[in-house]
Each structure stands twice: as C-alpha cells, then as structure tokens.
Amino acid sequence: MKNKIEDIVKSEKKIIKKTPPKDDMLSLLAKDRDEKSIPNNFQERNNIEIDKENIDDETDNYQEESEDVEPIEIKVENSIKKSFVDDRGFKSPRKKNKAKRYVFFGIVVLVVVFFVFNFFASAKVFITPKIEKFSFNSEKFTANRNSANTLPFEVMIVEGSEEKNVTFSETKEIATKAKGTVVIYNEYSTTPQKLLINTRLVDDKGLIYMTDKALSIPGYTKSGTKVVPGSISVTVTAQNTGDKYNSEPKDFKILGFKGNPKYDKVYARAKMAFTGGAVGNFYLPTDVEKGAINTDINNKLKTSLENKISAEIPEGYITYKDSMQFSTSIDEESLLSKTKEAKIKAYGHITTVIFKEEDIKKELIKRAYPSANDMDFKEIKIQSIDGFKFTFSDPAYIITKDVDSISFNLTGDKMLEWHPIVENLAVKLSGVSKKEIDSILKQDVGILRARVVFRPPWQRNMPDDVEKIKIIEEATN
C-alpha cells in the first residue's frame, strides 16, 4: 500500500488512466436500461475527476501518516461513449431513437411528395388528326340567291378606270358622231310600247339622238298604289357629227310623241356620258398603235379591278377568280387629239359571284364526305377552298346584278383535315379512368391515333380540372 502512494506522489498532479471493471460496466448498462438514460457524469463528460476526498480508505490512512503530501487530483478517462456497442452486442438507446426518427421523417417526406405530385397532376394527350383526300372532276353545283335549302350566293360588281399617256403619229380629217346608252321608260300603259329603229330622242337643248335598233318597252306594273314603269336599255347615236353632241348623262323625250299623252309618260334617261363626236383635223393612233394601247390599258385595268375585288369582298366571303367577268371600253373621244400628245382613258367593271366561306365549305364536305355530321362540319377544314377551277355550266352565261340562280362546276384535288375541338375533348376526358380513355377517343372519327402522358406517372385517372389536360396535335406521317 505504501508503494502505491509513493507512486502517486512522485509528481504534484498526475492523470491516472482507469478502465472501469467489467462488473461496473455491466451495472452501468443495466442502470441505463432501467432509467432510459445514462448518468449525468457519463453523458456529459468522458473524464471522471477524483479529488482527495474520494480516494479510498487506504489513501485516507496514508494522509494521516504523511501530512506533508499535497492534495492530488486523479482524473479517470472513461471509455464509455455516447453511442457504442459493447462486446456483448448491446446497442445505444440513442442510436435506436435516431433510426426511428429517420423512418418517421422518411414517411412524412413521402406523404408530402405524394400529395404535392397529385396536387400538380396533369395529362398531355397527343392526337394525330385524320386526313382524307378527295377529287372533283367538273362536279356540278347549283346556287340560289334567296333560298335556304341550297347554296346561297351574292353578286358583287366593282368599277374603275385607267389612263395611259401616248404619242400619236397619224393625222386625219375626222367627222364622227357621239354615242351613248339610254334607258327608255313606259309609264303610259300596262301594255308594251313599240319603237322603230332610228326613233328620235331630243334633249332640253334640242339636240337629237336616234335609237340604233327597234325595241318594245314593257308596260308598267303596280306595287300597291305605286306605278313601277317598264324599261329597256338601248344604244343611241347623235343625229349629226361634232363634239357639241358630247355631253354628260341627261334626259330625253321621244320627238314622235309630241302633242300626244305619251310624250310625258314615255321618256328616256342616259346611263353614261355621250362621247366620240368630232369634226376637223385630229391626231389619232394607227391600227397597230390602237391594238397595243387597248391591250396594255385593259390589262392594267383588269388587274386593278381584281385587286379591288379582293380588297372589298366582305369578311367571311370568297370568290373564284374564274367566275369574274370583265368588261371594258375605251373612251373613243380620247382617241382623237388636237396634239400629238394624248391621254387615253378606259372604263371597266368586274362582275362576280361570291359565297359565304362556311356555306361553300359545308357544301364541299357534303359532296366529298357524305356521312358527315354536324360535328364534322365544325372539325373539318379544307385548305384553299377558292383554289378549285370554276366554270359556269353554260360557258356563254353572263352574270347580271339581278340574277337569282346559277349553275357551275368545280374541278380539283383537296384534303379533308379533321381538327378536333380540344375544349370539348378535354371536358369529355376530365376525371375518367385510364381504362375509359381509349373508348372516348375512338368516338371522335377525326382522331387517327392518340397517346396519353401522365404526370406523375402513377396517376390512374385524368385530372378533374380541364385546365390540367393539354391536347396537342401531332403531324400525320
């Protein structure tokens, strides 16, 4: 015992490494299991300080024998740590608690992720629309202006003029008569009134013009108490040569009816200006020059009027270029000039038939796809409907502003293209199960094939919110 104490006092203070005996270790572990915690002096520090009051009885006895020895402090470094497995396989309770916490947090994360994914669930439906080719070879159509049972149409007329500066090289002594067109009216009786060729018409200045042919003026009709005069158009020519007969539109009486009740009831009105009257030496174009002038100015005027048709056609209507009928006339008076330099003027108009685009499209679909239903008419598109070749069934047919019906033929190849209404399709698909999707898509004949992509992929139903269903058209191969 004395030797022990001597070893201790060799230095003023010394750290003694001490490993608790096995019995002490087991008792500590047992105590931990009972109290569910490690004693404070083991949890909070690894070293145990032993001062002189904690030294065993032998040390106390030694102090009594040797009072000169200074008090010493003995530190025992504990080998027990916060988390360990001993040689008997005991696990630290803290490690068990940590594992439980990991499992709990993992479950929470999975639940949160699941609900987040379901909240943002969506679906993309990729559809390939149906496309079908059709051909028309002089397919005949009939259109009526005021019928709800057939294809309706309207008549469109545009007018215009064109000028061209030219130089004439030829001179000639000229004596020509002015010409124009008038409408003769009959308010005298309900029976037709006949007029002979060269019937004389007189204006308010006493200038006389004569009809170029014999004619019969229809009798008047009544609309309630209102008299609607019969009428007919005819070309007239000035009685004499000279530019004094050139004039703006005016009214005429029939000279032969003067002194007769018919004088005030049968009358004429000019539709356009009278031109072409001249007397004297004038510059004028040669026949070759005149032909070139006509071709050039007429082409420019026709192009100008076609552009005017395109610009002025009502929205939602279409026309066929081949249905346009072009009429032009050169101002004859402008072909005579007192100088070499002259300005040629031409007048013209285009008359054509126009159709509502939806009406003609529906008629084309009926012919190309006889089994079409109301939904097909909404979903099917035909590109360039106005691209067919158009011909009147009667090649000599002339369009007038009062025409009531027409017959025409269309020739060409086009494609029927289905474009399903995505809003309606999304409503049908919302909330349905995966098993029902295929049958719903097959109900639309305009869908050639389709595929659905879900987000997240474990979704079993389409989203209830149609905004989360995106329908995308894919090109047909």
Query: Could you read off the pLDDT of 323-379 as tens digits, one per residue?
Result: 999 999 888 778 888 899 999 999 999 999 999 999 999 999 999 999 888 888 889
By the 8 A CB rule, do 41 and 50 touch? Answer: no
Residue 90 confidence (pLDDT) above 70:
no
Average pLDDT across the chain, whole number: 81
pLDDT, residue 38, reads 45
pLDDT, residue 236, reads 96
- The pLDDT confidence band at residue 81, using thresholds 50, 70 and 90, is very low
103-117, 149-163, 213-227, 424-438: the lowest-pLDDT one: 103-117
Mean pLDDT of 379-394: 92
Residue 106 confidence (pLDDT) above 80:
no
- The pLDDT confidence band at residue 108, using thresholds 50, 70 and 90, is low
pLDDT, residue 332, reads 76
Mean pLDDT of 44-49: 44
- The pLDDT confidence band at residue 141, using thresholds 50, 70 and 90, is very high
Mean pLDDT of 191-200: 94
Residue 17 confidence (pLDDT) above 80:
no
Q: Amino acid identity, residue 105? A: F
pLDDT, residue 277, reads 87
Query: Could you read off the pLDDT of 219-270 as tens digits, one per residue?
Result: 999 888 889 999 999 999 999 998 899 999 999 999 999 999 999 999 999 9
pLDDT, residue 459, reads 84
24-33, 41-50, 180-189: the lowest-pLDDT one: 41-50
Residue 23 confidence (pLDDT) above 60:
no
Mean pLDDT of 55-82: 46
- pLDDT above 70 as % of the chain: 76
Residue 25 confidence (pLDDT) above 70:
no
- The pLDDT confidence band at residue 58, using thresholds 50, 70 and 90, is very low
Residue-by-residue DSSP string for 25-79:
HHHHHHHHHHHTS--HHHHS-SEEEE-TTSS-HHHHHHHHH-TTSPP--EEEE--
Highest mean pLDDT among 28-32, 137-141, 224-228, 399-403: 137-141
- Measured distance CA(269)–CA(261) in Å, rounded: 19
Burial class (CB in 10 A: 0-12, 13-18, 19+), 153: buried
Mean pLDDT of 112-134: 79
Burial class (CB in 10 A: 0-12, 13-18, 19+), 123: buried
Residue 188 confidence (pLDDT) above 70:
yes
- The pLDDT confidence band at residue 27, using thresholds 50, 70 and 90, is low
pLDDT, residue 125, reads 93
By the 8 A CB rule, do 417 and 381 touch? Answer: yes
77-81, 303-307, 463-467, 469-473: the lowest-pLDDT one: 77-81
- The pLDDT confidence band at residue 185, using thresholds 50, 70 and 90, is very high
For residue 119, what are the contacts with CB-CB under 8 A and spacing of at least 6?
Answer: none
pLDDT, residue 299, reads 93
Mean pLDDT of 134-158: 91
pLDDT, residue 278, reads 86
Residue 87 confidence (pLDDT) above 60:
no
Burial class (CB in 10 A: 0-12, 13-18, 19+), 317: middle
- The pLDDT confidence band at residue 149, using thresholds 50, 70 and 90, is confident
| CA-based R_g, the chain, Å | 55
